[in-house]
Structure 1
Amino acid sequence: MSTATQSSGTGTGTGTATADAADLAPVRTESLAAILVAGERPPRPNALQASLTFGWRAILKIKHVPEQLFDVTAFPIMMVLMYTYLFGGALAGSPEEYIQYLLPGILVMSVVMITMYTGVSVNIDIAKGVFDRFRSLPIWRPSTLVGYLLGDALRYTIASVVMLAVGLIMGFRPAGGVQGVVAGVVLLIVFSFAFSWVWTMFGLLLRTEKSVMGMSMMILFPLTFLSDIFVRPETMPGWLQAFVNNNPVTHLASAVRGLMDGSWPTTEIAWSLGWAGVLVAVFGPITMRLYNRK
C-alpha cells in the first residue's frame, strides 16, 4: 500500500513538473518579435523636451538634497548683512545710504559666484558614470548640459529673491520699481546662464570636483572683487581702473544697478548682453567638443 502511494505521488509530481515545463517553454523568435513590434514606438523627444527633462532632473536633485540651497539662501543673507554694516558707515556715511549702492552689486556677486556649481555637478555625474548612460540615449546631445544650466537658473532666481527680500527689510528702495527690479534680475540670470558654460567646460576638463571648485574660485575672486560692486572705480588707482572698467562683472553690476534705479543704462545693458553672447559662442562649442570626446 505504501509502495502504491509513493508511485501515485511520484506520478503526480512528474505530471506537474511536465506541465510546468510546458508552460515555461521558450518563446519562439517570431512570437517575440511580434510582441516587441506590436506597439507603436514613442516619438523621439526634440531638443527642447530633452533639455527640459534634464532641467527637471536638476531641480529634483535640489528637492531631495535641500542642503544645496544653503549657498543661495544663507550665504546671500550673510553677505548683505556683513558688507552693509561693516563698510556702510565708512564708505557712504550710513548703512541705509550704502545699501542703495551695494545691494545690486552684492546680488550680482552672489549669483555669479554660485554659477560654479554647474561645473561641480557635471564633474560629479561624470565620476559616477551617469553621463555614460546619457550618451546611449536617443536624445539631442547637448540637452544634458543645457538641462544643468536650466536647473541652475532656478537657483539664481531663488538667490535673487532672497537677497531682494533681505534688502527691502534693511531699507533698500529701488527707484525703478517692480519693472526695474524684474528687468535687472532677468539680465542677471541671462548673463549667469551664459557664464555657467565656462564652469561646465571645467567640469568636463578637470578630473575632480575639488579641482573644479579651486579653478573657479581662482577666476571668480578677481572678477568679483576687482569691480564696482563695493566702491566706485573713480576712487581706485588708474592702472586698476583700466581693469575694473573693462571687467564684465562691472558692466553687469552697473547695468543691474541702473535698471533697479530706474535709469535704464543702454550701454551697460548692451555690454552685459554682448559678454553673454561671447561666452556662449566661445565656451559652448568647446564644452560640446569636450563632451563628445569624454
Structure 2
Amino acid sequence: MTRVGRVRAEATAAARSFLRRKTAVFFTFFFPVILVVVFGALVRTQPGGGGLFAAPASYYVPGYLATVVLFTPLSRVGSEIARHRDDHRFEKLATTPLSRGEWLAAHTLVNLGVIGAASLLILLLVVSLTGAGVPLTVETLLLVPFVALAVVLFCGFGAILGRVADSQDGVIAASNTIALPLLFLSDTFLTPSLLPDWFGTVEYLSPLTYFARGVRTLTFDPAGTTLSTPPLGTVGNLAVLAALAVVFFAVGAVAVPRTE
C-alpha cells in the first residue's frame, strides 16, 4: 500500500470513529454556535461605547473562527492519542507500515473536514445574527488557507499534549488550560486598547495571534474607525502561520507514540 493509501485508510477509519460518537459530533458544532448566539446576538455590540464588544461586529469574526480552529484539534487529537495509548493501539500500529507522520496527517485531514464545515457554519451565523459585513472578494478566499494552516498547527500541538498528558482527562484539562488564555489574549475578542501596552509584545508569542490578525485583514474594513491595522498584513500573517504550522506538525509527528 502506498503512503497516500495508508493515510486515506487511517483517515477513513478515524472519520467513521468520530461520526459514531454522536455526542462528540454534536458538541463540536454546538460550542462555537452557542458562543456566536450568546456574544454575537444576545450581547449586542455597541460601536464607540467602550469596553468589551464595543467594536463593530465584523471585528470579532476572527475570534469566533478561532474557537473552532483552536479547541477542536487540541482536544480531539490529544484525546485520540490518549485513547489509542490506553487501548494499546499504538503497539499494534507499530507492526504496520503506517508512520507517525502519516497517522497525524490522517487525523489532521479529518479535522480539516470537520472544522472547515464548522467554520462555514460560524461565518453564516455571524453574518445573519450579528449583521457583520464580511467583504465578498477574491481575497476573502484566503480564509481557506488561514483555517487550514491553523488546523494543521493545532493538530500538531494536540499531538504534543496527547504525548505529555497521562490520560484523556489530563488532555482535556491541559487543552482547556492552554486554549482559554490563547482565545482571549491573541487579539481576538479583546481589542489592543483594553490591554496593557507591554502586552503587545507578548501577543506575538501566541500562534493564534497571526491567525486572528490575518483573518481580520480579510473580514474587517477598519476605514473610518480608530482600530489599529495588523502590522504584518495578510501575507505576512499567513507566512508566519505557515511556518509555525510546519514546525508544530513536525514536532507533533515525533511526539506520536509508537509503543508504550
Provide Cα deviations, 1:242-267, integer angstroms capped at 9, x if missing partner. Answer: 21244221111010121234896222
Residues 57-106 of structure 1: CA distance to partner in whole angstroms, max 9, x if unpaired? 11111222232222332111111121224554355559897321112221
Counterparts of 1:84 and 1:141 in 2: how far apart (Å)? 40
Q: Deviation at 1:238?
A: 1.4
For the structure 1 residues 247 and 207, does the alpha-carbon distance in structure 2 shift closer, same or farther, using more than 3 Å as the test?
closer
- Do residues 56 (structure 1) and 12 (structure 2) align? yes
CA separation of 1:251 and 1:87: change in aligned 2, threshold 3 A: farther
Matched, 1:242 2:201: yes
Q: Which has the higher contact order (CA 8 A, sep 6+)?
A: 2
Question: What is the aligned partner in structure 1 of residue 238 from structure 2?
Answer: 269
Measured in 2, the distance between the counterparts of 1:139 and 1:196 equals 18
Equivalent position SS for 1:214: helix
55, 60, 64: which is aligned to 1:102?
A: 60
Q: Which amino acid aligns with 2:244?
A: W
Give the match's secondary structure for 2:198.
Answer: helix
Question: 203, 224, 229: which is aligned to 2:183?
Answer: 224
Task: Provide the rounded CA distance (Å) in 2 between the counterparts of 1:252 and 1:282.
Answer: 20
Looking at structure 1, the residues matched to 144 and 155 of structure 2 have their Cα atoms a distance apart, in angstroms, of 16
SS at structure 2 position matched to 1:142: helix
Give the unaligned 5+ runs of structure 2: 223-232
Higher helix share: 1
Q: Which has the larger radius of gyration?
A: 1
Aligned residue in 1 for 2:97 = 138
Which residue is 1:30 aligned to?
Answer: none
Select which of 57, 75, 80 maps to 2:31: 75
Q: Distance in 2 between matches of 1:96 and 1:168?
A: 17
Tell me which amino acid in the other structure corresponds to 2:133: R
Matched AA of 2:258: N
- Cα pair 1:46 1:140 within 8 Å, conserved: no
5+ unaligned residues in a row in structure 1: which ranges?
1-44
Q: Identity over aligned residues, as a percent? A: 20
Q: Which amino acid aligns with 1:105?
A: G
Q: TM-score with structure 2 length normalisation?
A: 0.83
Cα separation, 1, equivalents of 2:103 and 2:240: 29
Aligned to 2:159: 200
Change (3 A) 1:66 1:182: farther
CA distance in 1, matches of 2:205, 2:165: 28
Report which stretch shifted further, 209-218 or 188-197: 188-197
Paired positions, count: 246
User: RMSD over aligned Cα, in angstroms?
Assistant: 2.6
